[in-house]
Amino acid sequence: MGRKAKDILVKSIIYLATGITLSVLLFIIGFIFVKGIGAINWNFISRDYNEKVFYAFVENSSVPLTIEPKVMENKTTYDKKYETPLEAPVYVENIGAAITKVQYKYYSTDREQFIFSYIEKNSPFQNAVQSNGAPVDIGTDYILQSVNGTDLTGLSTNDVKTLINDQTGQLKLKVISPGGGIKSNIITTLYMILLSLAVALPIGIFGAIYLTEYAKAGKVVNTIRFATECLAGIPSIVFGLFGMAFFVVALNFQISLLSGSLTVAIILLPVIIRSTEEALKTVPMAFRQGSLALGATKLQTIFKVILPCAVPGIATAVLLSVGRVIGESAALLLTAGTVAQIPGTLLSPGSTLTVQAYYVAKEEGNIELACAIGIVIIVIVIILNILSRIASDKLDVFNKK
């Protein structure tokens, strides 16, 4: 085989490999987008995952319909994918809202329910309170289950209207706020990022400072370095097991935000130490000498000259860490739990986006929702990447000429 033919062969292998990599990447992202994009809307982002049942007390009043009945009937504010209307909407003046009977089909759930398809601006719902007097929000697509203790199952829309019209005084409504959203998961993910970084960043940065500026080259430093590299390579489920045994059980933090973020902080440490160390190493020796020769102490040198130079590198470390937290699922499954709620305290559980994606795909077989979560994760990662580029450009002391 001639040299030219060989060249062409090798070249084509290189192009082929690049092509395969690119198409696999595009295929995966494309697949996720195609599968999940249908489920993404504002409700998906802004609602909790779980339905919430609550009682609301509403003043019985008389609010006339201010829009054309035809327009009111065409208002289909509910989720048309899972809810099919069974009867035409009916406007109820006593509560200033229109009620529609729909068939709700969502994986294992299949039931008939009444939902609010339209609410007047001065409806008494605006002043709805809970039994403890706290104001409560009732919006469209919320489900009405019972009125003053009478269950609505099996009734027609007009029956419900008559029922409400017959009541006098304050109305006690049993309402369900619709679920299916990932607001709580987004917030839990943000909490997790902030908490784990708050723990891992200072420790990691100080550790890196020790390794580059203080430790004398030798066995100890080599051992620490070797250990960090090994830690970086250990699969996260192992850290998860440790976190479960140590934070959850031994320290009795329970399955909680705290256990989860501490476990993730341990996973982050090697990444932060390595990148900060690399950043510190690239700061020229001449800066250290120059600073010391001016009578600065070692600490002043580190904090006033060396660290500011290393900021872009540290920003990269932060970005990598955030990506790691967002992507982490195995360790969090064991330490932070799968409860889709906003953790009220450090010791309450909550699931991040990735854990939720695992949960809905595995436990509910809802691939569409999992893919929709995947899209949200991809978008967040892209935004973070852009932000960190801007940040490290702005913070780079060598850029300001």
Partner 1 sequence: MDSKLKFNIKDLDLFYGDFQALKNINMKICEKEVTAFIGPSGCGKSTFLRCLNRMNDLIDSVKIKGEIIFDGQDINGDIDVINLRTRVGMVFQSPNPFPMSIYENVAYGPKCQGLKDKTKLDTIVKDSLERAALWDEVKDRLNKSALGLSGGQQQRLCIARTIAMDPEVILMDEPTSALDPIATAKIEDLMQSLKKLYTIIIVTHSMQQAGRISDKTAFFLMGEIVEFDDTHKIFTNPDDKRTEDYITGRFG
| Interacting residues toward partner 1 by CB under 8 A | 216-217, 284, 286-297, 300, 304-305, 308-309, 397-398, 400-401
Complex with partner 1: residue 361 or 395, whichever CB lies closer: 395
Complex with partner 1: residue 233 or 295, whichever CB lies closer: 295
Q: How far is the CB of 348 from partner 1 (least distance, A)?
A: 45
Q: How far is the CB of 23 from partner 1 (least distance, A)?
A: 43
Q: How far is the CB of 276 from partner 1 (least distance, A)?
A: 18
Q: Is 136 left (phi over 0), alpha (psi -120 to 50) or beta?
A: beta
Give the strand pairing for 83-85 and 109-119.
unpaired
DSSP string for 196-253:
HHHHHHHHHHHHHHIIIIISPSSHHHHHHHHHHHHHHHS-HHHHHHHHIIIIIIIS--
Rounded to whole angstroms, the Cα distance separating 401 from 160 reads 73
Q: How far is CA 338 from CA 1, 287, 292, 329, 333, in A?
A: 60, 50, 53, 10, 6
Q: How far is the CB of 213 from partner 1 (least distance, A)?
A: 11
Complex with partner 1: residue 1 or 293, whichever CB lies closer: 293
Rounded to whole angstroms, the Cα distance separating 115 from 152 reads 11
How far apart, in Å, do the first and last CA atoms of the chain sit? 55
Structure tokens belonging to residue 157: 């829309």
Complex with partner 1: residue 155 or 296, whichever CB lies closer: 296
CB 180 within 8 A of CB 249: no
Interior angle at CA 54, CA 163 and CA 117, nearest 5: 55
Complex with partner 1: residue 169 or 295, whichever CB lies closer: 295
Rounded to whole angstroms, the Cα distance separating 275 from 204 reads 10
Complex with partner 1: residue 70 or 400, whichever CB lies closer: 400
Q: How far is the CB of 214 from partner 1 (least distance, A)?
A: 12
Length of the chain: 401
Structure tokens belonging to residue 325: 């937290």
Q: How far is the CB of 314 from partner 1 (least distance, A)?
A: 15
Complex with partner 1: residue 241 or 296, whichever CB lies closer: 296
Q: How far is the CB of 292 from partner 1 (least distance, A)?
A: 7
Dump strand ranges (E) for 14-92: 52-58, 83-85, 90-92
Complex with partner 1: residue 5 or 286, whichever CB lies closer: 286
Q: How far is the CB of 242 from partner 1 (least distance, A)?
A: 37
